Structures are given as structure tokens and as C-alpha cells.
Amino acid sequence: MKDLESLSATQAIKALSRREIKATDLLRSCLDRIGQRETLTKAWSSLGKENALTCAKALDKGPIRGLLHGLPIGVKDLYDTYDLPTSYGSPIYTNHYPSTDAVSVALMRQAGGIILGKTVTTEFATFKSAITTNPHDIGHTPGGSSSGSAAAVADFMVPLATGSQTAGSIIRPASFCGIVGFKPSLGKISIAGVKSLSITLDTMGCFGRTVGDVALGVAAMSGDHRLAEVESLHNKPRIGICKTSSWSSAQKETITAIAIARHVAESISKGTVIDLRLPKECDGLTEAQARIMLSEISRSLAFERERFPKKLSPQLLKNLSDGANISYEQYAKDLTFASKAKDGVAALFNSEIDILIAPSAPGEAPAIKDGTGDPIFCRGWTLLGLPCINLNITSGANGLPVGIQLIAGPGKDHFLLSAAKTFALALPDPVLRDQA
């Protein structure tokens, strides 16, 4: 067997469950690929090779365990794992072994997933760049904070990896790395056992190379196995383009990406694709998200700030101090605002639209020295708690991938996956259609 590492999660699972390929062979292909590429990509904070092989052998011998039977998976190092060190991207937690798995990790193992290793996260999933590079060009960032997961999937090291998004940490790296990233509805996947930044915003999700792959991942992570089956839409959706109030930040390649998306949308939509402005209840959404995040981080990391201030980066210390300076009145006001904004958007989805298309990032991945990129096009959607999925759609002047995100109404995760599949199948570039 050759090139097993290039199978999508969906293809691999099909072959594994028919016993056409072995979990051990798939795992070894992934390990080979990691061996070839890791010195450049630096996607992994730890690998559990021996445990993974033991697990794969047992799965090859035993009955089919579940949705992820025999699939090697990368887990963002923000998620607790009982058998792999869990650093949260911070030197405070070097060699830290939690006593349990995060709930979503336990559910993936229960479904037969093989946790191959932990992928690099930025420091507590905040903004300081980690060591990981973009597999398309090692001079560029893979995005953050789910840097290692996005890079590992894009580099064919694993077919599936977990991420988390508090501002733009799934959708942005997926766009920068040219893969599919799925941030389901807020609360769809348990946050238990994932280092907490913001109770209001932290959303778990995953990366894959196809819509079917991320559907499988979130089905297992959430326990909602209905999500695993994705069909194209039976009815034409009403689609709108939402350039958002941050459109002035969009670079040439993102403007192109939205133009392409508009053409694709027109080919699959019911009626005209319109430019949609969010209801006025949403004015100031991005700013409110940023304040809520800073305010909550200053409390979530109170323990580390109190006991290990010297092990926190100057950038994070500044964030914590800025957050502590936001008054509780302001924070409470922002939460109330967010609640009204959610109502406003829910009404919009009820009455006018089924799917929104929006930029995933200002442009292609910045150079490493310039940080992990700006989450500005994701902050608002994260605060609204809506399901979002990134699809690769074009590339920029440096030849790096550029994506767009599809967004569905509250709780419409399954519908979003179907819409994304339909959309991907209508892309002009046949190679990109493989994302479906």
C-alpha cells in the first residue's frame, strides 16, 4: 500500500471499515510522512507513536469500533490527553500529564479514533506565534492558534485534527493552509478538558481535507452521529454575501475569493445572491468580541498570572492586564449586546437567508515574522455562536491558499455541511471540488 496518508478521512474510514486497508498501515504511512516533513513544518508538540501502534493493532484485530475506526488523529495541545503531555502552548505546563482526556478526545477514542499526537498551539491559544510553518511555504504562518493541527492536515500528516476557536483560530488557519475547517455551533462539542480562555466564546471543532472529513470529526467529538452523513442539498438555498464591517481590511486576494464565491453561489442558489448587511443590532460586534475575550481571559488565566508571571509572554501579560482593566459593567453590557445581536441574526436567517458567505481572513498567510494573521473576519461569527466552515477557493500573489467561510443559522450544523458540499462541488477548479 502506498500513499495511504493522502486518503481523506472519509476515504480512509470507508476502506478501514471494509477491512480493505489496515489501521497499522495507514498509521505507518502517516508516521512516514511526519518523518519526512516534520523538521520543516513543526506541527507536532508530541507524538505517541508506540501507544498509537498498539491501538491500531488492537483495532485491526477487533470489531469495528465506530465512526472513526482506525483513523489517526492530531489533537491540538490545548486539549487534555491522559497519555500525552499537554502543554497548552506554555512553558508552565511542560511535561504536564492530565489525569483524563478532554471529553471530546474520549469520545473520539470511543469511536475508534487513534490519537497519534498533540499538535502545536500558540501560548494558551492566544496570539504569540508558535514554531509551526505553513506547509505551502515555510516562510509563512499557518495561522493560529490551531497552528499545528491546520499544518498537519494540510501537509498530509494526518487526515483529521482538532482545533478550537475563541476569535478566529479554526477558520483563519484553515484558510491559510488551504483546507476545510469546521467551527460548529457554540456548545455543540463539550469544552470540558480543554484549557479555558473564554466561557462565552471557546468553540471546539476540527480540520480535514474534505467537508465529509470535518463532518465525521465533529460527529464523533459531539456525539451527534447524525452529522457524519452529508448529502448535497435537495433544495436550492437562499444565499447572501456578507462582506462585514471589516471589508476595508480585505486584500486583493480576499476580494477575488469573494467574487469567485459569488459566482459559485449564483449557480447553486435560489434567486439572486444579494449583498447582506447584518442587522443594526450587530453594529460593534467585532469590538464587543475582542473586549469579552480579553475580559474573560484575564479571569481564566488568573492562576497562571498569579503564580507564573515570568513564564507568560510579554504579549500575553499585556493582554491579561488590558483585560483586567475592562470594567465588569462594560463586560456585562457587551454580553447583553451579544444576546440581542444573536436574536437579530436569528431573525435574519429565519426570514431572508439560509447561508451567508463571508471572508475567512484579510488575505493569504502573512510572513512568519508578522504573526499568525488577523482574526478580524471571524470574531463576530464566533461571538454569534453560528456554525462556520472554511473552504479553499483561490490563491494569492504568493501562491498561498485563500478561503471563504460559509455560515448557517443557529444550530444548523448539518445543513451547513450539506451546503458546503453543494458549494464545493460547484467550484470552477476541479481540484478544489475534491473538498466536497
To a copy of itself, the closest distance from the beta carbon of 405 in angstroms equals 24
Choosing from 139, 187, 271, 428, the residue that interacts with a copy of itself (CB under 8 A) is 187
**111-170: which residues touch a copy of itself (CB under 8 A)?**
none
Contact 159, 7 (CB under 8 A): yes
To a copy of itself, the closest distance from the beta carbon of 357 in angstroms equals 26
H or E segment and range at residue 275: strand 274-275
Choosing from 39, 306, 314, 431, the residue that interacts with a copy of itself (CB under 8 A) is 306
- Tell me the C-alpha to C-alpha distance, in Å, between residue 271 and each of 345, 357, 419: 21, 15, 16
What angle (nearest 5°) sits at the alpha carbon of residue 410, between those of residues 406 and 414?
60
* Residue whose CB is less far from a copy of itself, 223 or 284: 223
User: Known catalytic residue: 145?
Assistant: yes
| Contact status: 50 vs a copy of itself (CB under 8 A) | no
Binding mask 195-234 for a copy of itself (x = CB under 8 A): -x--xx----------------------xxxx--------
To a copy of itself, the closest distance from the beta carbon of 99 in angstroms equals 5
To a copy of itself, the closest distance from the beta carbon of 195 in angstroms equals 8
- Tell me the sheet residues that pair with 194: 79
- Tell me the C-alpha to C-alpha distance, in Å, between residue 257 and each of 251, 264, 385, 428: 10, 11, 24, 12
Q: For a copy of itself, how many residues bind (rule: CB under 8 A)?
A: 36
| Contact status: 90 vs a copy of itself (CB under 8 A) | no
User: Known catalytic residue: 76?
Assistant: yes
Contact 88, 102 (CB under 8 A): no
| Contact status: 96 vs a copy of itself (CB under 8 A) | yes
| Contact status: 302 vs a copy of itself (CB under 8 A) | yes
| Contact status: 38 vs a copy of itself (CB under 8 A) | no
* Rg of the chain, C-alpha, whole Å: 20
**312-351: which residues touch a copy of itself (CB under 8 A)?**
328-329, 332, 336
Task: List, as own/partner pairs, every contact residues 47-53 make where C-beta atoms lie below 8 angstroms and the sequence separation is at least 24, other chains included.
Answer: 47/116, 47/117, 48/83, 48/84, 48/115, 48/116, 48/117, 49/116, 49/117, 51/83, 51/84, 51/115, 52/27, 52/114, 52/115, 52/116, 52/117, 53/24, 53/27
- Measure the CA–CA gap between 292 and 288, rounded to whole angstroms: 6
- Tell me the C-alpha to C-alpha distance, in Å, between residue 231 and each of 7, 228, 235, 389, 423: 20, 10, 12, 16, 12
| Contact status: 66 vs a copy of itself (CB under 8 A) | no
**DSSP assignment, residue 93?**
G
To a copy of itself, the closest distance from the beta carbon of 423 in angstroms equals 25
Contact 130, 122 (CB under 8 A): yes
Choosing from 52, 59, 106, 365, the residue that interacts with a copy of itself (CB under 8 A) is 106
Contacting residues for 424 by C-beta, under 8 A, at least 6 apart:
210, 211, 391, 432, 433, 435, 436
Binding mask 260-299 for a copy of itself (x = CB under 8 A): ------------------------------------x--x
Instruction: From the candidates 76, 128, 183, 412, give the one annotated as an active-site residue.
Output: 76
Choosing from 100, 267, 321, 325, the residue that interacts with a copy of itself (CB under 8 A) is 100
Which residues of the shown chain bind a copy of itself in the complex (CB under 8 A)? 82, 93, 96, 98-101, 103, 106-107, 109-110, 187, 190-193, 196, 199-200, 223-226, 296, 299-300, 302-304, 306, 328-329, 332, 336, 411
Q: Could you give the residue numbers annotated as active site?
A: 76, 145, 169
